[in-house]
């Protein structure tokens, strides 16, 4: 299914009055409103193909119905999101879940929805049917050279698919690690990982990047071979300028100061970008902003300040992606909520009075520094984000429009009530 622009426009004209009042009230207080709106309109968040279906846990999975059954339908779903919010203009594929059998046709389909292809992801955490060697004991760090070779070749194949689709990033997450003390020689595992990555790196086109994700635990519960930002950064530094560290918000030990990690990686020119999600306990992959929106704001505050200091373009100079999984919600509604939460945090960060904050820091005025941040954070910027959407031809309230058009019912009619999206 595809959304007609007139659906969006007529919905917007119905909610126009309330919105205008709220927006004008807020606009009065924002010094550089045109700049903020323009930044918000440009900002795009990539949608991962694996977030479009209902996830599950090891205890079960409850299908939501109408889920995309193939790559074409996944592109269709992201197209719907993008039509609703005009901020979800790209899709991130996972190989082999999303092999593009006919790349030109897939590219053309994406273009019809005004979408491009974000990072391509490799998968060496699962064994695929017919695969020669198992990843049970790891992939790029494996003790057996033949397994490492298979994993390296898979990554190079993923890059080939990415080239066909016009992507320019290989995003790599390894589940390599160990479950019990004694299982692994840490130094050798790290060294083997580096050597494997060097081969992948050498096969990357010049204008490509390699994003190296880290994760403190899971599925291995004793050690992870790329466990934290330091280990990812060590690899990225040894590999070269195309290799960067990717921050998935759910991949830290409890209470880690993620905004500080982000600030330093950015300063070093080694921050790849983000996998946005939220969590209370571990890698919960909950809707962005559902648990700790203040942390998200603080991260964006570092990003805006750090990117401005380095003369970077917010919208394009880092990778912005959601990485979440929905067990009980309609995945599309959940993704709309996640994008909205990201936009809100970004808008709030754009409102921070950076000069006054720096002055407060210089004079060690702790109270004023805190007040400045909280002034921005406590501003209800939703009308601002909605105005940016309105200017881009998107819906003032995407979730409300999605519901009033009964999009999920239509998808169930088209695809069936018992669907399992390919992927996780």
Closest CB to ligand AOS among 224 and 387? 224
Is 334 a binder of Zn ion (CB under 5 A)?
no
Of 74, 141, 275, 326, which one interacts with Zn ion (CB under 5 A)? 275
Residue 121's binding partner, choosing from ligand AOS, Zn ion, none, with beta-carbon cut-off 5 to 8 A by kind?
ligand AOS
Number of Cβ within a 10 Å radius of residue 83: 22
Tell me the closest approach of the beta carbon of residue 154 to Zn ion, in angstroms.
18
- Of the two residues 173 and 377, which places its CB atom closer to ligand AOS in the complex? 173
Least distance to ligand AOS from the beta carbon of 340, Å?
21
Q: 283 or 401, CB closer to ligand AOS?
A: 283
Greatest alpha-carbon pair distance for the chain in Å reads: 66
Q: Identify residues 296-315 at the interface with ligand AOS (CB under 6 A).
A: none
Residue nearest to ligand AOS (CB): 173
The residues in 197-226 that bind ligand AOS, with binding defined as CB under 6 A, are 213, 215
85's contact among ligand AOS, Zn ion, none, with CB below 5 to 8 A by partner kind, is none
Site residues for ligand AOS, window 39-68 (CB under 6 A)? Answer: 50
Report the residue number, 252 or 275, with the smaller CB distance to Zn ion: 275
Span of 156-164, 190-198, 277-285, 394-402 interacting with Zn ion by CB under 5 A: 277-285
Task: Map the footprint of ligand AOS across residues 100-139, applying CB under 6 A.
Answer: 121
Residue of 73, 176, 248, 278 interacting with ligand AOS (CB under 6 A)? 248
Return the number of the residue (50 or 346) whose C-beta is nearest ligand AOS.
Answer: 50
- Residue 248 sits in the site that holds Zn ion (CB under 5 A): yes
We find the least distance from the C-beta atom of residue 232 to Zn ion, in angstroms, to be: 12
Distance CA 106, CA 89 (A): 15
Residue from 154, 275, 314, 389 that binds ligand AOS (CB under 6 A)?
275
Instruction: Give the strand pairing for 243-248 and 271-276.
Output: parallel
The answer for residues whose C-beta is within 8 angstroms of residue 100's C-beta and 6 or more apart is 71, 93, 106, 161, 164, 165
Choose the stretch contacting Zn ion; rule: CB under 5 A; options: 70-78, 267-275, 359-367, 408-416: 267-275
Neighbouring C-beta atoms of residue 333, cutoff 10 Å: 18
- Binding partner selected for residue 135 from Zn ion, ligand AOS, none, CB under the kind-specific 5 to 8 Å limit: none
- Looking at 283, 302, 333, 340, which residue binds Zn ion (CB under 5 A)? 283
Question: Does 323 sit near Zn ion (CB under 5 A)?
Answer: yes
Q: Considering the rule CB under 5 A, would residue 382 count as an interface residue with Zn ion? A: no
Q: How far is the CB of 171 from Zn ion (least distance, A)?
A: 8
Specify whether the CB–CB gap between 209 and 200 falls below 8 A: no
73, 283, 302, 340: which one contacts ligand AOS (CB under 6 A)? 283
Work out how close the CB of 159 gets to ligand AOS at its nearest, in angstroms, rounded to a whole number: 16
- With CB under 5 A as the contact rule, the residue among 138, 162, 250, 319 that binds Zn ion is 250
- CA-CA-CA-CA torsion sign (166, 169, 316, 391): positive
- Provide the binding-site residues for ligand AOS, judged by CB under 6 A: 50, 121, 173, 213, 215, 248, 275, 283, 323, 424
- Provide the binding-site residues for Zn ion, judged by CB under 5 A: 248, 250, 275, 277, 283, 285, 323
């Amino acid at each position: 299914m595809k959304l007609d622009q007139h659906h969006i426009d007529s919905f917007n004209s119905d909610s126009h009055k309330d919105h205008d009042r709220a927006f004008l009230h807020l606009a009065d207080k924002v010094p550089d409103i045109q700049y903020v709106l323009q930044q918000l309109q440009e900002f795009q968040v990539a949608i991962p193909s694996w977030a479009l279906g209902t996830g599950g846990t090891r205890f079960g999975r409850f299908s939501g119905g109408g889920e995309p059954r193939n790559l074409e339908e996944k592109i269709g779903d992201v197209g719907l999101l993008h039509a609703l919010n005009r901020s979800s203009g790209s899709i991130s594929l996972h190989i082999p879940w999303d092999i593009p059998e006919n790349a030109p046709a897939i590219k053309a389909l994406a273009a019809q929805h005004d979408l491009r292809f974000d990072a391509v992801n490799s998968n060496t955490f699962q064994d695929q049917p017919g695969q020669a060697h198992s990843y049970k004991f790891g992939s790029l760090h494996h003790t057996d050279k033949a397994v490492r070779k298979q994993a390296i070749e898979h990554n190079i194949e993923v890059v080939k698919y990415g080239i066909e689709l016009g992507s320019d990033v290989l995003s790599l997450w390894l589940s390599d690690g160990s479950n019990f003390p004694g299982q692994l020689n840490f130094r050798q595992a790290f060294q083997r990982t580096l050597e494997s990555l060097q081969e992948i790196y050498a096969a990357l086109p010049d204008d490509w990047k390699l994003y190296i994700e880290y994760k403190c635990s899971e599925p291995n519960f004793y050690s992870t071979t790329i466990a934290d930002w330091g280990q990812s950064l060590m690899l990225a530094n040894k590999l070269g300028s195309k290799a960067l560290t990717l921050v998935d918000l759910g991949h830290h030990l409890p209470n880690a100061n993620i905004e500080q990690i982000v600030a330093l990686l950015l300063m070093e020119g080694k921050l790849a970008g983000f996998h946005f999600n939220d969590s209370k306990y571990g890698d919960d992959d909950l809707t962005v902003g559902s648990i700790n929106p203040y942390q998200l704001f603080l991260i964006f505050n570092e990003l805006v300040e750090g990117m401005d200091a380095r003369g970077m373009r917010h919208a394009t100079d880092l990778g912005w992606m959601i990485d979440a999984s929905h067990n009980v919600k309609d995945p599309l509604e959940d993704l709309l909520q996640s994008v909205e939460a990201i936009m809100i945090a970004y808008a709030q960060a754009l409102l921070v009075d950076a000069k006054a904050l720096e002055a407060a820091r210089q004079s060690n005025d702790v109270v004023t520094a805190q007040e400045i941040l909280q002034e921005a954070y406590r501003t209800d910027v939703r009308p601002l984000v909605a105005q940016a959407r309105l200017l881009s031809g998107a819906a003032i309230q995407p979730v409300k429009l999605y519901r009033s058009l009964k999009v999920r019912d239509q998808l169930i009619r088209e695809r069936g009530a018992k669907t399992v999206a390919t992927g996780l």
